[in-house]
C-alpha cells in the first residue's frame, strides 16, 4: 500500500510539474530553485477564476518543479487590498507576492511598495529564466511599467468587460417576430443606448407575459459596494464619452466649473440611462457586485448585460455553473455617437480593460524565490489552459493556441473580440489617489441607486466632494 | 500579604495580554488621531495635525449621520431584545412541553459567528433569490428589497441583531430570575399584590443589576456593530445602514485615511463611554430615589 501511495505521489508530481516545461528547462528551474527548495512563499489575491486557477493548478505545478511551496490566499476584493496594503505599509513582510489590480498600480508605485522586477532580473541573471520574456506579453504589460519602462508586475489576468447577450433568445424566431412587430426593427445586439434600453424593456415585458424568471438586462448596482461605482465610471460613462471618471488630469478637478466632467451633461445622461435600466433588471441587481452579475447571467435571469470578461468562458461553457451554456454571444457595449470613432482614433475608449499582475513587495523576505514564481506564471507554456479557465489572456501568442481557439468558438468570439478590438478598451486612469477618490464619490452613486438623490444631484455633489478630496490629498489647489 | 502577591501573580498573564492587545493599540490609535496620515496622499508620511481631525469630525455630516444612525439602530434593537428577552426568560421559568428543546434551539444563534449571521441573513433576504422576499411578494404582494429601499435595509439589520442577540438577553435575565429570593415574591402575594405590582415592585427592582449589566453589554455591542451589517448590506442602500463601525472601516482601510479614522475611533469610544455613564447615572439615581 505504501509503495502504491509513493508511486501515486511520484506520478502526480510528474504530471503536475515536469509536464509543464521541457526537459532542458526543467534542469534550469531545478538548478535555479535549488537554494530555495523547501522555502514557502505567500501571496494574496482576489478570488476570481484566474486566481483560483493559480491556486489550484499553477502553484502545485511550480512546487513540483522547484520544491518551493506556494501558499496562496484567494479572498474577497476588499480583504485582498486590506491585507496587502497593511502588510506593505507596516513592512511586516507576510506576503512575497501580491495581486496588483491595474487600477491600484499607480498608488503602489507612488508609495514604492514594489520591487523593480526588470532591475531584479538584470541584477541576478542566475534567476532569469531563459524561457521567460517580457516581450511575450500584450501591451497590457505597459500598465505595470514606470516612466523608465521598468516592469513592476507580471500580468496574470487581463480581459475586457463585454456586452453579453443570450443567443437563444435573440435568435428565437417567435421572439424576433414579436420584437419586429413592436418596434419595426430586427432584434440584434444593441449598438446604441436607446436600442439597449428598448431590448431590455422588451425582454422584461416578454418574460412577464410568459411567466419567465427573466429580465432585460443585468445592472451591477450594489448599493453599498464600490462595484456600482466601477460599473458606472469605468463601463458606462466612457460609452457616453466621459473618460477618467470625469476628472481633468491636467489640473485634478472633477467639477465642470473647474474643468472636469464628472457632473457634465454627458455624465448625467449616462447615470440617468444606467439607473433607468434598473427597472428592467433582476431584483437582485441593487445587491449585485461583479460576481452576482455573472451569476445572474449564468442563471439565465437576464437577456443581456455588461459582464466582466473573466466570467465569459465559464458562463458559456461550464454546465456545472451555468444554465446558458452554448447560448452566449458577445458584442461591443452600446455607444453614444462619436465614441467608437474617438476610441479608434486613440482619443478615448469604449469600456474597461481589466486585469492585474502579481508584484513583489519590497518587504518580502523571500524575494528570490518569489522572482522565480513570477517568471513561472509568465511562461508561455502555462498560458493556454489558464486562458480557457479564466477567460484571461496576457500574451499575444496565447490567442493562437488550439485550446483558446476552441474556447473562442464556444464563447461565440470572445477571444477574437478581445484580440482584435481590445485596443478600444482601456484600464483605469493613472490615479495614485484611486481608492481615496472612489471612497468619496461612491456614496453619492449608492444614494442615486437608492433613489435618495437624482442623477444630476448625485453627480454634482460627487464632483464637488472629489474636488475637495483631491485638494486634501495634495492634488491641485 | 502573601495572598495579595499570589493574586497579582495569577492576574499577571491576563493583565499583560490586555495591556499588549488592548491598551497599547488604544494608545497608538490615540496618537495617530493627532496626525494627518493618508498613505496615498502626496505627502504620504505622518504630519502632526493637533486636534484638527477632531475639529473636522464635528462638521463631518457623513460621520455625524453614521453616529445618529447607529444610535437609532442600537436603541431600537437593544430595547426590542430587552422586552423579548424578558418575555422569553419569564416563559422559560415555567414548565411546558418541549421546554428543553426550545431552550437549545433558542440559544443556537448565539453560537454563530457574526460574519456567518450576516451571510445567513443575506442568503435569506437577497432580492430575487432569498426566500424572504419571495414569500413576502407571493403571499402579501410586498416588494421587499434591502438593496433598494433604505427602511427595508435598516429594519432587516435590526431584526438580524434581535435574532442574534435576544438569546443572550434571555439567558442573563433567566439567570437573574432564577436566583431571585422566592420568599419576597411569596410574601408580596400573601399581602395581596397583583401581577403588575409583583413585576413593578418586586421583580423589576431585584432584576435591575442584571438588566443594567445586560444593557451595558448590548449597547456597547450595538454601537460597534460591523461584521453582520457589512456582510448583509455593506452599509447600503446609499448610506442607510452605514453605521459608525462600517464608516470608520471604510475611512481607515479602503480610503487609508489612518489619522482621521483614528480620531473617529476615539470619538466613538468616547460617545460609547458617555452613553453608558449617563445610563448608569440615571439608573443609579432612580434606584437610590426608589
CA distance A286 to A291: 13
Q: Are residues A53 and A196 in the same domain?
A: no
Q: What is the mean pLDDT of residues B81-108?
A: 92
In a domain, B157, yes or no: yes
Q: Residues B146-169: what's their mean pLDDT?
A: 95
Tell me the shortest Cα–Cα distance from B40 to chain A, in angstroms: 6
pLDDT of residue A430 exceeding 90: no
Residue pLDDT, tens place only, A444-462: 999 999 999 999 999 999 9
Look at B40 and A110 and tell me if their CB atoms are within 8 Å. yes
Within a domain: B185: yes
Identify from A283, A363, A440 which residue to disrupt to test chain B contact, counting B C-beta atoms within 10 A and taking the largest count: A283
B41/A472 touch (CB, cutoff 8 Å), yes or no:
yes
Residue A466 confidence (pLDDT) above 90? yes
Mean pLDDT of A263-270: 98
> For chain B, what is the domain count?
1
Sequence-distant (6+) residues with CB within 8 A of B63 are B57, B244, B247, B264
Domain harbouring A216, CATH code: 3.40.190.10
* pLDDT at residue A135 in the model: 94
Give yes or no: residues A86 and A181 share one domain.
no
* Domain encompassing residue A165: 160-352
| Digit-coded pLDDT (tens) for B62-88 | 999 999 999 999 999 999 999 999 999
Comparing B11 with A4, which gets the higher pLDDT?
B11
A473: in domain: no
Q: What is the pLDDT, as a whole number, of residue A86? A: 86
Which residue, B116, B78, B98, B104, is CA-closest to B171?
B104
Q: Pick from B43, B241, B255: which is nearest to A435 by CB? A: B255
Which residues 88-147 on chain B approach chain A with CB closer than 8 angstroms?
126-129, 133, 145-147
Residue that the C-alpha cell 447615572 belongs to: B281
Give the pLDDT of residue A22.
67
Min distance A469 CA to chain B CA atoms (Å) = 10
Over residues A63-74, mean pLDDT: 95
At residue A432, the pLDDT reads 86
User: What CA dihedral angle connects B146, B151, B156 and B159, to 10 degrees?
Assistant: -170
CB contact under 8 A, A225 and B150: no
A51 and A174 part of one domain: no
Cβ separation A473–B255 shorter than 8 A: no
Query: B62 to chain A: nearest residue by CA?
Result: A443
The mean per-residue pLDDT over the stretch A49-59 comes to: 93
> Would you place residue A106 in the very low, low, confident or very high pLDDT band (cuts 50, 70, 90)?
confident
Q: What is the DSSP string of B100-137?
A: HHHHHHHHGGGGS-HHHHHHHHHHHH-TTTSHHHHHHH
- Note whether A175 and A279 are same-domain residues: yes
What is the pairing mode between strands B35-36 and B47-48?
Answer: antiparallel
Contact A225 B251 (CB under 8 A): no
What is the C-alpha separation between B127 and B147, in angstroms, rounded? 8
Distance CA A193, CA A100 (A): 33
Flag if A287 and B253 touch (Cβ within 8 Å): no
Domain range for B169: 61-289
* Pairwise CB contact (< 8 Å): A78 & B255: no
CATH of residue B280: 1.10.3720.10
Q: Which residues contact A355 (CB under 8 A, 6 or more apart)?
A: A101, A102, A140, A143, A155, A156, A157, A158, A159, A392, A394, A427
A472 touching B (Cβ < 8 Å):
yes
A65 and A170 in a common domain: no
Identify whether A461 is part of a domain.
no
Is residue B53 one of the residues assigned to a domain?
A: no
B255/A452 Cβ within 8 A = no
Closest B-chain CA to A474: B42
A328, A405: one domain: no
- Of the three residues A316, A334, A352, the one that is the final residue of a domain is A352
Boundary-marking domain end, from A304, A319, A352: A352
Instruction: Determine which of A190-204, A256-270, A382-396 has the lowest per-residue pLDDT on average.
Output: A382-396
Chain-chain contact of A450 with B150 (C-beta, under 8 angstroms)? yes
Q: Which pLDDT belongs to residue A250?
A: 93
Residue B234 located in a structural domain: yes
* ipTM of the complex as predicted: 0.82
Number of compact structural domains in chain A: 2
Q: What is the pLDDT of residue A16?
A: 46
Shared-domain flag, residues A372 and A273: no
Q: Is residue A121 part of a domain?
A: yes
Does residue B110 sit within a domain?
Answer: yes
Angle formed by the axes of helices A265-276 and A193-210, nearest 10° = 10
In a domain, B226, yes or no: yes
* Residues linked to residue A166 through DSSP beta bridges, in sequence order: A328
Verify that A143 and A275 share a domain, yes or no: no
Spatial contact of B133 and B152, defined as CB atoms under 8 Å apart: no
Maximal C-alpha separation, chain A: 78
For residue A255, being part of any structural domain is answered with yes
With contacts defined as CB-CB under 8 Å, which chain A residues touch B128?
282-284, 296, 301
Judge if the upstream peptide bond of residue B237 is cis by omega within 30 degrees of 0.
yes
In a domain, B46, yes or no: no
* For range A224-249, the mean pLDDT: 96
Residues A276 and A262 in one domain: yes
Do residues A30 and A82 both lie within one domain?
yes
Find the mean pLDDT for residues B102-127: 93
* Secondary structure element (H or E) that encloses residue A156, with its range: strand A154-166
Phi-psi region at B122: left, alpha or beta (left = phi > 0; alpha = psi -120 to 50): alpha
Cα(A158)–Cα(A181) distance, integer angstroms: 41
Q: Can you give the length of chain A in residues?
A: 477
- Number of CB pairs < 8 Å for A and B? 118
A187-220 confidence digits (pLDDT tens): 999 999 999 999 999 999 999 999 999 999 999 9
What pLDDT is attached to residue A177?
96
Q: How many CA atoms, within 13 angstroms, populate the side-chain half-sphere of residue B91?
A: 17
What pLDDT shows up at residue A11?
Answer: 46
Tens of pLDDT, residue by residue over A135-152, are 999 999 999 999 899 999
Tens of pLDDT, residue by residue over A149-160, are: 999 999 999 999
* Same domain for A195 and A121: no
Tell whether A25 and A110 lie within a shared domain: yes
Interchain proximity B129–A284, CB inside 8 Å: yes
Q: Which residues pair with A371 in a beta bridge?
A: none
B245 part of contact set with chain A, CB < 8 Å: no
Q: Is residue A140 part of a domain?
A: yes
pLDDT for residue B280: 81
Q: Span B246-266, mean pLDDT?
A: 93
Amino acid at each position: 500500500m505504501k509503495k502504491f501511495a509513493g508511486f501515486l505521489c511520484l506520478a502526480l508530481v510528474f504530471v503536475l510539474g515536469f509536464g509543464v516545461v521541457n526537459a532542458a528547462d526543467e534542469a534550469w528551474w531545478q538548478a535555479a530553485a535549488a537554494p530555495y527548495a523547501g522555502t514557502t512563499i505567500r501571496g494574496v489575491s482576489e478570488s476570481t477564476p484566474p486566481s483560483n486557477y493559480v491556486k489550484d493548478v499553477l502553484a502545485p505545478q511550480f512546487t513540483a518543479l522547484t520544491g518551493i511551496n506556494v501558499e496562496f490566499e484567494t479572498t474577497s476584493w476588499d480583504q485582498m487590498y486590506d491585507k496587502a496594503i497593511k502588510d506593505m505599509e507596516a513592512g511586516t513582510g507576510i506576503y512575497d507576492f501580491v495581486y496588483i489590480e491595474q487600477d491600484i498600480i499607480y498608488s503602489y508605485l507612488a508609495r514604492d511598495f514594489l520591487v523593480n522586477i526588470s532591475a531584479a532580473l538584470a541584477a541576478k541573471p542566475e534567476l532569469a529564466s531563459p524561457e521567460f520574456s517580457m516581450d511575450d506579453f500584450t501591451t497590457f504589460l505597459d500598465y505595470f511599467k514606470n516612466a523608465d519602462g521598468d516592469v513592476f508586475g507580471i500580468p496574470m489576468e487581463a480581459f475586457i468587460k463585454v456586452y453579453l447577450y443570450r443567443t437563444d433568445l435573440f435568435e428565437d424566431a417567435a421572439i424576433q417576430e414579436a420584437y419586429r412587430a413592436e418596434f419595426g426593427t430586427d432584434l440584434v445586439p444593441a449598438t446604441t443606448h436607446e436600442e439597449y434600453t428598448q431590448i431590455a424593456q422588451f425582454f422584461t415585458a416578454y418574460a412577464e407575459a410568459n411567466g419567465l424568471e427573466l429580465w432585460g438586462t443585468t445592472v451591477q448596482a450594489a448599493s453599498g459596494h464600490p462595484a456600482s461605482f466601477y460599473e458606472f465610471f469605468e463601463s458606462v460613462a466612457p460609452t457616453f464619452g466621459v473618460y477618467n471618471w470625469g476628472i481633468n488630469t491636467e489640473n485634478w478637478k472633477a467639477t465642470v466649473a473647474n474643468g472636469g466632467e464628472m457632473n457634465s451633461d454627458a455624465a448625467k445622461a449616462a447615470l440617468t440611462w444606467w439607473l433607468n435600466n434598473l427597472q428592467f433588471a433582476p431584483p437582485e441587481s441593487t445587491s449585485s457586485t461583479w460576481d452576482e452579475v455573472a451569476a445572474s447571467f449564468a442563471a439565465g435571469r437576464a437577456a443581456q448585460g455588461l459582464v466582466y470578461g473573466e466570467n465569459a468562458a465559464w458562463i458559456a461553457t461550464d454546465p456545472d455553473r451555468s444554465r446558458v451554456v452554448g447560448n452566449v454571444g458577445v458584442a461591443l457595449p452600446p455607444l453614444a455617437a462619436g465614441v467608437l470613432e474617438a476610441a479608434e482614433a486613440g482619443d478615448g475608449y469604449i469600456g474597461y480593460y481589466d486585469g492585474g499582475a502579481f508584484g513583489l513587495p519590497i518587504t518580502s523576505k523571500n524575494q528570490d524565490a518569489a522572482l522565480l514564481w513570477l517568471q513561472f506564471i509568465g511562461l508561455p507554456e502555462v498560458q493556454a489552459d489558464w486562458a480557457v479557465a479564466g477567460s484571461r489572456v496576457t500574451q499575444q501568442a496565447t490567442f493562437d493556441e488550439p485550446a483558446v481557439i476552441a474556447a473562442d468558438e464556444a464563447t461565440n468570439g470572445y477571444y477574437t473580440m478581445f484580440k482584435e478590438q481590445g485596443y478600444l478598451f482601456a484600464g483605469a486612469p493613472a490615479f495614485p489617489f484611486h481608492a481615496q477618490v472612489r471612497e468619496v464619490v461612491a456614496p453619492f452613486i449608492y444614494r442615486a441607486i437608492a433613489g435618495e438623490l437624482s442623477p444630476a444631484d448625485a453627480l454634482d455633489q460627487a464632483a464637488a466632494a472629489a474636488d475637495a478630496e483631491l485638494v486634501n490629498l495634495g492634488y491641485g489647489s | 500579604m502573601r495572598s495579595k502577591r499570589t493574586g497579582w501573580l495569577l492576574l499577571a498573564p491576563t493583565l499583560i495580554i490586555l495591556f499588549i492587545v488592548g491598551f497599547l493599540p488604544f494608545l497608538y490609535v490615540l496618537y495617530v488621531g493627532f496626525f494627518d496620515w493618508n498613505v496615498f496622499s502626496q505627502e504620504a508620511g505622518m504630519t502632526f495635525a493637533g486636534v484638527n481631525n477632531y475639529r473636522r469630525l464635528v462638521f463631518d455630516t457623513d460621520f455625524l449621520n453614521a453616529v445618529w444612525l447607529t444610535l437609532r439602530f442600537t436603541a431600537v434593537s437593544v430595547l426590542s431584545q430587552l422586552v423579548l428577552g424578558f418575555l422569553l426568560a419569564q416563559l422559560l421559568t415555567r414548565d411546558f412541553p418541549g421546554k428543553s428543546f426550545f431552550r437549545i434551539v433558542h440559544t443556537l444563534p448565539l453560537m454563530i459567528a457574526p460574519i456567518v449571521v450576516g451571510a445567513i441573513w443575506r442568503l435569506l433576504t437577497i432580492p430575487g433569490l432569498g426566500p424572504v422576499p419571495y414569500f413576502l411578494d407571493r403571499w402579501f404582494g410586498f416588494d421587499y428589497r434591502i438593496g433598494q429601499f433604505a427602511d427595508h435595509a435598516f429594519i432587516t439589520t435590526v431584526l438580524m441583531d434581535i435574532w442574534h442577540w435576544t438569546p443572550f438577553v434571555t439567558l442573563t435575565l433567566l439567570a437573574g430570575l432564577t436566583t431571585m429570593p422566592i420568599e419576597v415574591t411569596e410574601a408580596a402575594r400573601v399581602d395581596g399584590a397583583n401581577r403588575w405590582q409583583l413585576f413593578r415592585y418586586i421583580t423589576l427592582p431585584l432584576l435591575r443589576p442584571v438588566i443594567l449589566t445586560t444593557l451595558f453589554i448590548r449597547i456597547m455591542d450595538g454601537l460597534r456593530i460591523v461584521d453582520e451589517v457589512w456582510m448583509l448590506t455593506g452599509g447600503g442602500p446609499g448610506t442607510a445602514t452605514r453605521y459608525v463601525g462600517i464608516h470608520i472601516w471604510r475611512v481607515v482601510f479602503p480610503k487609508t485615511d489612518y489619522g482621521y479614522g483614528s480620531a473617529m475611533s476615539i470619538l466613538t469610544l468616547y460617545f460609547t463611554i458617555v452613553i453608558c455613564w449617563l445610563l448608569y447615572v440615571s439608573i443609579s439615581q432612580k434606584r437610590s430615589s426608589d
